Amino acid sequence: MKLSIVIPALDEESRIEKCLSSIVRQDIPRTDYEIIVVDGGSRDKTVEIVRKYADKVILSEKKGIGYQQNVGAIYAAGDILIFIHADTYFIRRDIFRKLLEYFEDRTIVGGAIGHKYYPENKYGIKIFNTLDSFLASFFVYLNMPRTGGPVTVVRKDVFNEIDGFIENLYEDVEIGFRLEKIGKIFRDTEISAYSSNRRLEKDGVAKNVLKYALLNVALKLDKAIEVDYPKIR
């Protein structure tokens, strides 16, 4: 199984190289995965930076995480799609290998991994990371794993079957509810991705926790919900 790593980007010159360098440090052969970056119209040096790492750089006329990820999937040659936010990086080098192990089970259609905001030494971020980890582990304990966070993994044929992501900022959570109607999904809370705390800084810890909880309940009940996310760029 070949992996396609799809990264949506917009004005990420200060963060995306850390993301890309952590990807190329993974302990599977570089020939086993491709890196696709879909840029939504960056005005900084993002595109210049990603050209040093990416196999495919796509310049999108429209911006939006869900939309850009869908565009990247069109150009993907891999059997497994790994969507990673541009402000995200890995510390462990075995993450791709562990993800591939899940897909040896043909009933697995997608999943996610743990998520932590950095810097972890800030009190508010510590609280959020603890609550987020507890909720993710709780759903896994109930045998109801949830997607969500900066890394989403999907079989490409299944991704095409469900018409990809919705074009909204909770696309990472919503897709899991459609995937579980087709097959099994996983959440590996033992491995984590680290991403910028800028959304927490903008919106606050308590509000983000409440949004996450309400969103999961609404999606489980198949109810429409409006989620207001502040601009972070």
pLDDT digits (tens, 9 = 90+) for 79-138: 999 999 999 999 999 999 999 999 999 999 999 999 888 765 566 777 777 777 778 788
Amino acid at 211: K
Give residue limits of the domains in the chain: 3-220
pLDDT of 151 > 90? The answer is yes
Q: What is the dihedral of CA 185, 150, 221, 105, to 10 degrees?
A: 0
What band does 35 get if pLDDT is binned at 50, 70 and 90?
very high
Q: What is the tens place of the pLDDT at every residue in 42-76?
A: 999 999 999 999 999 999 989 999 999 999 999 99
R_g of the chain computed on alpha carbons = 16
What the block records as the tokens of 198 is: 């800028």
State whether the Cα torsion 19-21-23-26 is positive or negative: negative
CA distances from 230 to 87, 110, 152, 188 (A): 16, 28, 22, 28
CATH of 3-220 among 3.40.980.10, 3.30.70.20, 3.90.550.10, 1.10.287.610:
3.90.550.10
State the pairing for strand pair 3-9/108-118.
unpaired
Strand partners, 111: 153, 186
**In contact, 53 and 24? CB cutoff 8 Å:** yes
- DSSP character for 98? H
Residue 108, helix vs strand vs coil: strand
CA distances from 233 to 105, 198, 200 (A): 39, 9, 13
Amino acid at 185: I
What the block records as the tokens of 164 is: 């990809």
Which residue did the predictor score with more confidence, 63 or 229? 63
- The two most distant CA atoms of the chain are separated, in Å, by 45
Q: Taking the model in full, what pTM does it have?
A: 0.86
Which residue did the predictor score with more confidence, 39 or 195? 39
Which residue did the predictor score with more confidence, 190 or 210? 190
Alpha helices in the chain (DSSP H): 16-24, 46-50, 65-74, 95-102, 123-141, 156-161, 171-179, 198-203, 205-220
Mean pLDDT, the chain, rounded, equals: 88
